[in-house]
Amino acid sequence: MSDKTILLITGGNTGIGYETVKELLSSPVPYTIIMGSRSIDKAKDAISTLTSENPNSKSEIVPLQVDIVDDESIDQAYKEVESKWGKIDILVNNAGMRRASFDGIMQQKPGAAGIREAWQTSYSVNVTSTQVMTTIFMPLLLKSSTPRLLFVTSGLSSLTTCSSGLISAMQRPNPPAGWPKPFEPSHITYRSSKTALNMMMLYWNRLLKEDGVKVWCISPGFLATGLGGVGKEVLKKFGAGDASIGGEFIRKVVEGERDADVGKVVNYLNREHGVQPW
C-alpha cells in the first residue's frame, strides 16, 4: 500500500482534470495520482508529457481506464484500484460533458427527438454516471483516514444567478414574444444537470457526515477547456480564463484551504466570500 496520498480523478487527461494533475505534481505533498480516462492511450500520452515537465515531482501518476457511462468499465476500474492500493483518499469527480455539446444535439436534431436526447445525455453523463462512480468507489474512500470527495460543477448551476437573468457567461436580452423562439445557446440542459449535481453533493455530505468525509462542489469559473466543441480561443474572446485556474483551485481544496466551506459550492471567482449562491 502506498504511503502517498492516493487521489483518483476522472477525466484527468484533458481540460481542468489535466491541469489539476499538473498542479498536484508541482505540490510538495506526495501523491499517487490515479488518472482516470476513457482512453488508456490518451492517459499514457498525457502522463508522458506531465512527467517530462515535472521530472523532480514527489508524486507519481498511474493511468486508469474508466468510462463513467459504462458500468462494466467502472467495475473493472474498482477492482484494479482495490487490488493495487486497497483504498483511495480523495475522489475528484471531474469527468463530464460541458456546455455546447447538448445545445448542439438540439440544433442537429430539431424537435422532440433532439430535445430528449440532449436532456437524457446531459443527465446520464453529468448526474447519473457521477452518482454510479461515487457509489461504486465509496468503500475504498471510506477506508481512508482523511477522505475527501469533490464534484466539479459550474457557475451556471446557480438558481440564484439564473433568477437574475444570466443565462450564460454573457447577459442577453429576453427573446421577443411569440413561438418558436429563436435559437440561443442557453446551455439549459448542461446547467440543469449541474444544478442536480449540487443536490447530489448535499446528499453525499449528509450521508457521509458521521464518516468524516469532507465533501464539496467545485465551481472553477468560466474557463477555456477546449471541451464542448467551441474551442479555447473562442471562449477566451468571451472572457474565459485559462484552465490552469481550475487546476490550481482544485488543488487548494484538496490540500485543505477550503475546509471551512465543507458541504457548499466553493467558487474560485467569488473572492470575497468564496461560496457560490444556491
Question: pLDDT at position 187, please?
Answer: 79
Question: pLDDT at position 111, please?
Answer: 86
**8 Å CB contact between 250 and 153:** no
Is 220 a residue whose pLDDT tops 70? yes
Name the nearest CA neighbour of 125 among 11, 204, 14, 273. Answer: 11
Return the residue matching grid coordinates 457509489. Answer: 135
Report the C-alpha gap between 20 and 36 in whole angstroms.
12
Report the C-alpha gap between 161 and 58 in whole angstroms.
41
**8 Å CB contact between 99 and 187:** yes
Is 235 a residue whose pLDDT tops 80? no
154 is catalytic: yes
pLDDT in tens, 80-112: 999 999 999 999 999 987 655 666 777 778 889
Among residues 194, 214, 219, 268, the one annotated as catalytic is: 194
Among residues 101, 144, 154, 219, the one annotated as catalytic is: 154
Name the nearest CA neighbour of 166 among 193, 195, 189, 186. Answer: 186
Report the C-alpha gap between 94 and 99 in whole angstroms.
14
26 is catalytic: no
5-99+126-163+190-267 maps to CATH 3.40.50.150:
no
Among residues 22, 31, 144, 190, the one annotated as catalytic is: 190
What's the mean per-residue pLDDT of the chain?
A: 87
123 is catalytic: no
Cell numbers linked to 162: 439564473
Question: pLDDT at position 67, please?
Answer: 97
